[in-house]
Chains A and B, each alone.
Chain A
Amino acid sequence: MAKIEIISPLPGIFYRSPSPESDAFVQEGDQVSSQTVVGLIEVMKQFSELTADHQGTLIEFCVSDSSAVEPGQVIALVETKE
């Protein structure tokens, strides 16, 4: 078991869902794979997907929905089996 940090490579605003009306991409406790989209980062009106990059359980989001993030900031934690 290892805890891996999902880090924002960009400054901007982090969103947990594709639009305000829709459900979150993932919930805490969900299984994720490396391609799983966990959120969007909005930088200068452009949206980039943030993927889990690891297989495991997303145990915690470290920032709240729609909040400002800095590059290098930890967005969420994934627990892997290795």
Chain B
Amino acid sequence: MQFSQHKLLIANRGEIAVRIINAAQQLGIPTIAICSEADRLSLPSLLADEVEVIGASRADQSYLNADLVIETAKRLGATAIHPGYGFLSENADFAEAVEQAGMIFVGPDAATIRQMGDKACARTTAQAAGVPVVPGSDGEIDSIEEALTAAQTIGYPLLIKASAGGGGRGIRIAHNKEELVKEITIAQSEAKAAFGSGAVYLERFIKSARHIEVQILGDGKQAIHLYERECSLQRRRQKVFEEAPSPALSDAIREQLCATAAKLANTLNYKGAGTLEFLFDAETEEFFFIEMNTRIQVEHPVSEMITGVNIVEWMIKIALGEPLTLCQDEINIHGCAIEMRINAEDPSKGFFPSPGRISALHWPVNEGVRIDTHVFDGYTIPPYYDSLIAKLIVHDVSRELAFERALKSLKQTRIEGIKTTLPLHRLLLQDPAVQSGDFDTETLEVWLKEHSHRLADKEKAHASTAD
């Protein structure tokens, strides 16, 4: 298909803007980069065919200003807008406004974004499609009898959660019937005191949960999966280190999980790239749908590396009307890929942000290594946006060899002038639990507490060898 009559505006910044510009240029599509004042001298603005500074440095005055983005796109003759991730990417009103302005939104339609963006609605949709969700009382529990009935289907141990709570507050655990009877009364009065509402609900307690997500690609008629990503290593609910495939799944469970995800995407007639997130109970080998992201994700490269499918190119082609010609049977896993997120943060000082000028930069140049980044030697990282400066992605035939390649690549990487999370990845790659794939979503937080001195030491050791 010829796309040269199109013009794609990228409503984003940073590494993902670079990734999208590269994909569009590969397809012969002219690109427009929009940027804030702070990003005037940035890689996307240097690479794109056209550049427009749309507003001040603060995101709400530039990248988050939907009216401004659409007005600019119209004025410059864009035919399509790619939202990337973050910013306006899951804003259904924006997707709708883009279409109403006569342009193509690269992603699913506004109705799908709304449906899957609402957690309760997504849960109901998943349940209706026969996809397991975390077992829980559908709605609030008013009496002990009601709690006991619900507990029979949920199973023990279970969590009693305050409806008005959040962020881990207002949660009690019950291991059996007796504890439930005792705890629910306490939970209700506690919730009343803390949140002004005594409403509680029940949910299965998963002791060791892994975050595993399935990549989806659909054209509105058929949807396929590109297997899963393992994203359990998180700090403050932010992913730090991802890999594909997950070391926790047996082949049988993997097929079941991915087929289930593809089934849900097919019931949605999903169009574009999307990700279905699951909690995986490593003890029982059960998986539960938690939410869907209706956009490209930061960690998409690991899926691209193991399947050979260019997800960003397909997103654009599908949006511009090309049917998805890939068949599920053609999608196979080749080897293992790891992504390390390099953030401008100081791991020895509680991951405090470290914006500033990069005074020296060297990336590894090796087979099986991919760097997705927007930074260059001499680039000044502005303080206004998130701290991700690069993704170091490695691919090899096995997980063991991918770890070796990752460590070698880290040793060859040099970023000076700012603090980065490189030392954290060096330690993680050499950690026996990480190497054996034995971790869950709580592991990294605990690990960081135990290894804080080593992150500080590492810093010193590194500084002295550099002298």
Contacts and interface: CB of A to CB of B under 8 A. Distances in A.
Interface of A: 10-13, 42-46, 66, 68
A44 B58 contact: no
Contacts of A66: 58
B69 interface: no
A46 B57 contact: no
Which 6 residue pairs are nearest across A and B when measured between Cβ atoms?
A44-B353, A11-B383, A43-B353, A44-B387, A12-B383, A43-B383
A11 B344 CA distance: 14
Contacts of B386: 44-45
A42 B384 CA distance: 8
Interface residues of B, number: 15
Nearest to A48: B352
Interface of B: 56-58, 344-345, 352-353, 355-356, 382-387
Contacts, number: 34
A13 B56 CA distance: 12
A16 to B, nearest CB: 15
Contacts of A44: 344-345, 353, 355, 383-387
Nearest to B61: A66
A10 B345 CA distance: 13
Nearest to B384: A13
A66 B151 CA distance: 49
**Most chain A CB inside 10 Å of its own CB: which residue of B57, B355, B356, B386:** B355
A11 B57 CA distance: 12
7 contacts: A10-B353, A11-B356, A12-B383, A13-B58, A13-B384, A68-B57, A68-B58
Given A12-B384, A42-B383, A68-B58, 13 more contacts: A13-B58, A13-B383, A13-B384, A43-B355, A44-B353, A44-B383, A44-B386, A44-B387, A45-B385, A45-B387, A46-B352, A68-B56, A68-B384
B355 A11 contact: yes
Contacts of A46: 352-353
Nearest to B356: A11
A45 B126 CA distance: 32
Contacts of A10: 353, 383
B84 to A, nearest CB: 16
Contacts of B356: 11
A42 B58 CA distance: 11
A42 B356 CA distance: 15
A50 to B, nearest CB: 14
Nearest to A69: B383
Interface centre among A10, A43, A44, A68 (most CB of B within 10 A): A44
Contacts of B344: 44
A63 to B, nearest CB: 14
A66 B56 CA distance: 12
Contacts of A43: 353, 355, 383
A10 B353 CA distance: 10
A12 B353 CA distance: 10
A43 B58 CA distance: 11
B65 to A, nearest CB: 15
Nearest to A67: B58
A43 B387 CA distance: 9
Nearest to A11: B383
Contacts of B58: 13, 66, 68
A68 B56 CA distance: 10
Contacts of B382: 11
Contacts of B383: 10-13, 42-44
A13 B345 CA distance: 17
Contacts of B387: 44-45
A64 to B, nearest CB: 13
Nearest to B352: A46
A12 B57 CA distance: 10
